[in-house]
């Protein structure tokens, strides 16, 4: 955790105890290959138990997956740094190590809450204060004010509701080939991975991949393009889906211990390269370049994260595909975050940053083509640039859009950093609004309007609108796809402005969500934190 001012010395002492609590777990005394095999197998068992009863709502599946990706990070980091590299994998379940792995995974899930709270309370940019009441750590003051913005970030789904439905329909899933080749023997299950089943799975997942990858495939890094990464991700993600489906089938058919010992899809490095090359149509050398960067702890990454480097090298021989790390991955977001950390790639990525917001602008304009709205953008003398303005001359209305497309934050520190970008965007819009109020002629000329028009401004973010503490009463912040669909649905700029002004795009506490205040315990200490309980019967996407 962070060790900066903003947290009392007493709470810092508590922090040290919490940070060290994992060290007593028996997995930390094992070689990495053994410890990682047990930990990751237990993580897959957790996901199996969560899903075996069936999740009917898209948002439940999405939230479970998002949480899983962040929760596995800490326990993996502990064994990666503490355990001796290499070692042997297991092919049987030892009860003591099985319990230790479950305990460590659960501890990592709890620890994520504590690290989030301490990070939010640390440093000059802290967003809350913590206090210690007996053995309970809790936020002070009115921490839950404007919690609807946090709920929006959690509940809003970037996909349109009808686009997600096919992924819940088993008739659209290539299950027959998996079922026909599935064999169960005691506590083991296996199946035949054939070219057709991989091709069928890739076809089934293609709409999902298209929504997941929206940046240009031509973006070129030092050894491969974004398009090359997508081809390889599609293959491994398809294999992960096939293995996961076989695992669930085997569990329902009564395999002993729910197939725990086959939770991971294991391959040698040579077979992995050949398999991915075969199904992606790429050369083995090109496949190797991508997989080397995606291997946990490779390419100079000293603090690896499974979401960014999801291929787990257990020892010199065995690599593990952990199905739910691939299935639950926000692949493009994670890849961009990874290359931004790689010394050889970071400078290359930076040249593409400005292009992202230009792509966002063009997408908005394209999606609104065919309406009566006009769009304007560009430089205004002695004033901040206009990212995009949407004008309805018939309604005499103008909506200024400040565009933000950053890497979606997942950790507390990333949220604090991205909040600064949201606040900067708000200040830029306020300057433009002030210039309009002053009848600044270069601005009016650029927008092709006059002082009789109604002018409002908003910040439009691709993926995250910030928390309540960074919001402005005058400048709404909304997701890009949400704004686009509202404008297309209403075909009225004035009514959209009213919708934005009164924050009708936000969820309502008691109707769309409620706040839970669970207590999470590690050792002698409890954290009284918060959770957002979703009450939407379908995907939250109000228009």
pLDDT of residue 2: 46
Residues 6+ apart with CB under 8 A from 271: none
Same domain, 464 and 325: no
Q: Is 538 a domain residue? A: no
Does residue 378 share a domain with residue 497?
yes
Place of tokens 């924050």: 503
Distance CA 401, CA 425 (A): 9
Q: Are residues 333 and 412 in the same domain?
A: no
The reply to whether 51 and 170 lie within a common domain is no
Task: Return left, alpha or beta for 115; rule: phi > 0 is left, psi -120 to 50 is alpha, else beta.
Answer: alpha
- Binned at pLDDT 50, 70 and 90, residue 146 comes out as confident
Comparing CA positions, the residue from 167, 95, 103, 114 lying closest to residue 327 is: 167
> 444 and 522 in one domain?
no
Helices (H) and strands (E) in the chain, counts: 19, 16
> Which pLDDT tens digit goes with each residue over 262-313?
999 999 999 999 999 999 999 999 999 999 999 999 999 999 999 999 999 9
User: Does residue 543 lie within any of the structural domains?
Assistant: no
In sequence order, the β-bridge partners of residue 447 are: none
| 405 has a pLDDT exceeding 50 | yes
In-domain check, residue 512: no
CATH code for the domain in which residue 469 is found: 3.40.1350.10
Separation CA 173–CA 276 (nearest Å): 22
pLDDT at 335 over 90: yes
Q: Which residues have C-beta within 8 Å of that of residue 372, sequence separation ≥ 6?
A: 392, 394, 491
Q: Going by C-beta distance under 8 Å and a sequence separation of 6 or more, which residues neighbour residue 21?
A: 107, 522, 523
Residue 541 lies in a domain: no
What distance in Å separates the CA atoms of residue 16 and residue 104, rounded to the nearest whole number?
Answer: 18
Claim to verify: residue 336 and residue 387 sit in the same structural domain: no
Instruction: Provide the residue range defining the domain that includes 456.
Output: 353-502
pTM: 0.91
In terms of domains, do 235 and 119 share one?
A: no
Going 201 to 204 to 210 to 211, the CA torsion angle's sign is negative
Query: Which of 331, 351, 371 lies at the terminal end of a domain, its last residue?
Result: 351
How many independent structural domains does the chain possess? 3
214 in any annotated domain:
yes
- Could you tell me if residue 445 is inside a domain? yes
Instruction: Tell me the pLDDT tens digit for each residue of 207-227.
Output: 889 989 999 999 999 999 999
Whether the per-residue pLDDT at 164 is higher than 60: the answer is no
Average pLDDT over residues 28-46: 97
Is 205 found in the same domain as 109? no
DSSP line for 291-331:
HHHHBTT-TT-SS--TTTS-EEE-SSSEEEE-HHHHHT--H
Tokens describing residue 442: 């270069």
- Mean pLDDT for the stretch of residues 107-117: 94
Domain limit, last residue, from 333, 351, 369: 351
With residue 130 as reference, give the H or E element that holds it. strand 130-133
Tell whether 330 and 294 lie within a shared domain: yes
Do the domain assignments include residue 152?
no
Same domain, 83 and 209: no
Whether 107 contacts 523, CB under 8 Å: no
Residues 6 or more apart in contact with residue 90 via CB below 8 angstroms: 34, 37, 38, 97, 261
Dihedral angle sign, alpha carbons of residues 40, 46, 52, 55: negative
Does residue 228 have a pLDDT over 60? Answer: yes
Q: Are residues 338 and 299 in the same domain?
A: yes
> Rounded distance, CA 488 to CA 149, Å?
23
Q: Rounded to whole angstroms, how far apart are CA atoms 128 and 433?
A: 31
> Considering the domain boundaries, does residue 295 fall inside one?
yes
| CB crowding 481-502: b at 16 or more within 10 Å, else e | bbbbbbbeeeebbbebbebbee
Residues 434, 364 within the same domain: yes
Select, from the ranges 90-94, 101-105, 146-150, 404-408, the one with the highest average predicted confidence (pLDDT): 101-105
Kindly state the tokens that stand for 370: 């065919």
């Amino acid at each position: 955790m962070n060790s900066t001012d903003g947290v009392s010395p007493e709470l810092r002492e508590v922090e040290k105890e919490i940070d060290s609590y994992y060290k007593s777990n028996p997995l930390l005394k094992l070689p990495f290959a053994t410890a990682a095999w047990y930990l990751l197998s237990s993580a897959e068992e957790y996901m199996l138990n969560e899903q075996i009863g069936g999740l009917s709502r898209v948002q439940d599946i999405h939230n479970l997956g998002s949480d899983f990706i962040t929760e596995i990070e800490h326990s993996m980091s502990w064994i990666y740094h503490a355990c001796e590299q290499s070692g042997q994998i297991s092919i049987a379940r030892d009860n003591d190590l099985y319990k230790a792995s479950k305990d460590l995974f659960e501890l990592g899930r709890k620890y994520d809450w504590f690290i989030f709270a301490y990070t939010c309370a640390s440093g000059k940019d802290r967003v809350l204060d913590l206090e210690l009441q007996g053995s309970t750590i809790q936020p002070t003051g009115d921490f839950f004010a404007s919690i609807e913005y946090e709920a929006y970030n959690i509940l809003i789904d970037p996909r349109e509701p009808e686009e997600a439905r096919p992924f819940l329909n088993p008739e659209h899933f290539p299950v027959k080939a998996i079922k026909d080749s599935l064999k169960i023997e005691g506590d083991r299950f296996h199946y035949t991975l054939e070219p057709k089943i991989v091709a069928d799975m890739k076809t089934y997942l293609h709409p999902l991949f298209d929504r997941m990858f929206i940046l240009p495939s031509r973006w070129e890094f030092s050894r491969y393009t974004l398009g090359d990464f997508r081809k390889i991700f599609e293959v491994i993600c398809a294999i992960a889906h096939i293995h996961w489906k076989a695992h669930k089938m085997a569990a329902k058919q009564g395999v002993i211990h729910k197939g725990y010992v086959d939770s991971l899809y294991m391959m040698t490095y040579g077979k992995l390269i050949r398999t991915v090359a075969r199904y992606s149509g790429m050369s083995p050398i090109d496949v190797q370049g991508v997989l080397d960067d995606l291997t946990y702890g490779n390419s100079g990454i000293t603090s690896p994260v499974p979401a960014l480097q999801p291929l787990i090298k257990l020892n010199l021989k065995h690599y593990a595909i952990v199905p739910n790390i691939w299935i639950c991955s926000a692949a493009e977001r994670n890849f961009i975050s990874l290359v931004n950390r790689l010394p050889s790639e970071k400078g290359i990525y930076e040249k593409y940053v400005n292009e992202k917001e230009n792509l966002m602008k063009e997408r908005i304009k394209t999606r609104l083509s065919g309406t009566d709205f006009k769009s304007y953008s560009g430089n205004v003398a002695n004033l901040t640039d206009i990212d995009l303005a949407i004008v309805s001359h018939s309604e005499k209305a103008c909506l200024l859009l400040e565009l933000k497309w950053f890497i979606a934050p997942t950790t507390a520190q990333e949220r604090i950093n991205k909040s600064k970008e949201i606040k900067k965007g708000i200040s830029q819009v306020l300057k433009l609004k002030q210039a309009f109020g002053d009848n600044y002629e270069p601005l009016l000329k650029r927008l092709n309007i006059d002082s009789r028009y109604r002018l409002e401004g908003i910040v439009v973010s691709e993926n995250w609108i910030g928390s309540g503490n960074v919001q402005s009463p005058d400048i709404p912040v909304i997701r890009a796809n949400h704004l686009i669909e509202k404008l297309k649905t209403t075909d009225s700029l004035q009514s959209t402005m009213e919708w934005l002004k009164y924050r009708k795009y936000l969820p309502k506490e008691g109707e769309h969500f409620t706040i839970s205040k669970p207590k999470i315990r590690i050792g002698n200490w409890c954290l009284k934190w918060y959770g957002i309980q979703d009450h939407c019967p379908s995907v939250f996407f109000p228009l």
